[in-house]
Chains A and B, each alone.
Chain A
């Protein structure tokens, strides 16, 4: 009797209430992925595609001029050679900003990880995130107050050496880099902090027990182990920095002409959206080429 009951129970299984819910696995996978890909399409792919189409037009499609599809916008770097100089200028600003962020951010992250006393870590984290919470424009304009002639920096200098000249360096490339480093440093600190926090204290203790001093520990243990954080921080900073236009415009003045400001001008001043779009895509291609070139090096760095 018992045997019979068991058999009938197991037979009911596939036909029972559960069987109605079984879907082919590809369907459930698709359904689960739909929101992600839907959002990506809506928020990233569609706008980018629109801009990509614009970049092949002869004029902005909102004017009266007839629209012809052309490749001429992509010849901008050949037709207007001064753009090459501006492009290099932007890449250099991106390079120096990323480098300063990497050095300062890494050291700040090390300090953050080391500060275990009471609430110091929480307080430091808030101080680091503070620039994120201030309006970017306010942040950048406050730097003009500091860096201009007879600004805060000069006042500080003249308190020590009243006869010294001005060291204010507003409207130089250094000023742009200072402003950008200030704005983007938190990204680097946070990515490095996440990488450093994962390192077992015993590894550092083992190194010092074997005779390593702080600089050996820094360069032979911490930097290689936190390389993934350094790399993702660098990528996060480099890309927006070379396209930035607010900091170069406000802090760079006459020298603050970068790809970011040129592209912005095309959209807001010259009303030449196709040129702006083509310059954006050229810049994107250059960035991708740079990352492709270095990806081998980067991968070796992260291969832990």
Chain B
């Protein structure tokens, strides 16, 4: 149980910067997701913390130790891989005991630890089987047991659930969270699945082009994205651009949109982000922000209806509504939509 810090870490491959000047902290016992598209540097950052990649500059500390120059085997990390990476020529028990053996724990003491770890991942009695005899989900549980049995300083997860199917993935998310809470391990989780990041994490870090664009609690990052990229990558967003005018924003068509957030000085250009599910279709006049738009497509997705809209100016908008009354509106209908000023967030580019 230790905190992990990276200080002005940078990495360049050839002439392509993969990570530029990253400074952040992963507090003791926290579960942080590194979220970003491929090529954003999230895996590189994880591998630098693990020690597989040496940063061109910067410092990595685990607890009070500067581990920048310590090789992987000396860092006391627990790691899970997308491909499970179990040792195929060893039994499950031998797999889990591998890290203990490296620490000089053998015989009965090791067996006890192995049994406890397998129990923790709900695979008691699986010790004598081989990885091949296990399903993907079970193999990933073994990988988790193998990673936590050595009592690592930090648990590093490299998209460990991506290879599992949807139902199994949700099951494993619950399991992972339970085990992380029980063990109190500082956990860093790389994923490109935004839902997974939101459900599991205490903190979400959004990476883009080798930089952390925003880091914070899931609710904070989702409700108050700082940049257009953050708003777009985490969930869906509508973007309205306009000019600041007297504490509100005037759009190109003259509509005035209010927000509870602080706006830049009058006259400057600003982009506002509004989540599609914060908008609703209204029939009468409203005190909230509102716009008129024409429905281009209605997508029926069971519990949710997605409306693809277009304003008179040709601005595309999205609106998600709970499926309370079924599909009553159809393509081509003109509607009035409204949303609250507190859900209108100015974002940077």
Whether the Cβ atoms of B102 and A212 lie closer than 8 Å is yes
Looking at A211, A212, A220, A224, the one whose CB has the most chain B CB atoms below 10 A away is A211
B contacts with A, residue count (CB < 8 A): 28
**Whole-angstrom distance between the alpha carbons of A210 and B94 in the complex?**
13
Note all chain A residues with C-beta closer than 8 A to B134: none
Whether the Cβ atoms of A210 and B150 lie closer than 8 Å is yes
Q: Which residue of B73, B82, B88 is within 8 Å of A211 (Cβ)? A: B73
Q: Given A202-B83, A224-B89, A207 and B98 touching (CB < 8 A)? A: yes
Note all chain B residues with C-beta closer than 8 A to A216: 102
Interface residue ranges of A198-246 to B (CB < 8 Å): 200, 202-203, 205-213, 216, 220-221, 224-225
Asked whether any CB of chain A lies closer than 8 Å to the CB of B259, the reply is no
**Whole-angstrom distance between the alpha carbons of A208 and B103 in the complex?**
12
Interface residues as binary, B88-102 with A (CB distance below 8 Å gives 1, 0 otherwise): 110000000011001
Note all chain A residues with C-beta closer than 8 A to B150: 210-211
Whether the Cβ atoms of A203 and B73 lie closer than 8 Å is no
CB distance from A46 to the nearest CB of B (A): 42
Whether the Cβ atoms of A211 and B76 lie closer than 8 Å is yes
Asked whether any CB of chain A lies closer than 8 Å to the CB of B300, the reply is no
Note all chain A residues with C-beta closer than 8 A to B299: none
Chain A's closest residue to B76 (CB) is: A211
A contacts with B, residue count (CB < 8 A): 18
Asked whether any CB of chain A lies closer than 8 Å to the CB of B26, the reply is no
Whether the Cβ atoms of A205 and B87 lie closer than 8 Å is no
Q: Which residue of A205, A207, A209, A304 is within 8 Å of B88 (Cβ)? A: A304
CB distance from A278 to the nearest CB of B (A): 43
Q: Given A202-B83, A205-B72, A205-B81, A210 and B99 touching (CB < 8 A)? A: yes
Interface residue ranges of B187-243 to A (CB < 8 Å): none
Interface residue ranges of B262-303 to A (CB < 8 Å): none
Looking at B73, B77, B103, B143, the one whose CB has the most chain A CB atoms below 10 A away is B73
Chain B's closest residue to A302 (CB) is: B89
CB distance from A125 to the nearest CB of B (A): 24
CB distance from A21 to the nearest CB of B (A): 41
Note all chain A residues with C-beta closer than 8 A to B99: 210-211
Tell me the interface secondary structure of chain A in the complex: helix
CB distance from A211 to the nearest CB of B (A): 4
Interface residues as binary, A177-213 with B (CB distance below 8 Å gives 1, 0 otherwise): 0000000000000000000000010110111111111
Q: Given A202-B83, A205-B72, A205-B81, A210 and B89 touching (CB < 8 A)? A: no
Whether the Cβ atoms of B87 and A203 lie closer than 8 Å is yes
Whether the Cβ atoms of B83 and A208 lie closer than 8 Å is no
Interface residue ranges of B44-67 to A (CB < 8 Å): 50, 52
Asked whether any CB of chain A lies closer than 8 Å to the CB of B244, the reply is no
Whether the Cβ atoms of B102 and A211 lie closer than 8 Å is yes
CB distance from A228 to the nearest CB of B (A): 11
Whether the Cβ atoms of B85 and A205 lie closer than 8 Å is yes
Q: Which residue of B77, B86, B89 is within 8 Å of A209 (Cβ)? A: B77
Chain A's closest residue to B146 (CB) is: A210
CB distance from A109 to the nearest CB of B (A): 18
Pick 6 A–B contacts, CB within 8 A, sort by A. Answer: A202-B85, A203-B87, A205-B81, A208-B72, A211-B99, A216-B102
Chain A residues at the B interface, C-beta cutoff of 8 Å: 200, 202-203, 205-213, 216, 220-221, 224-225, 304
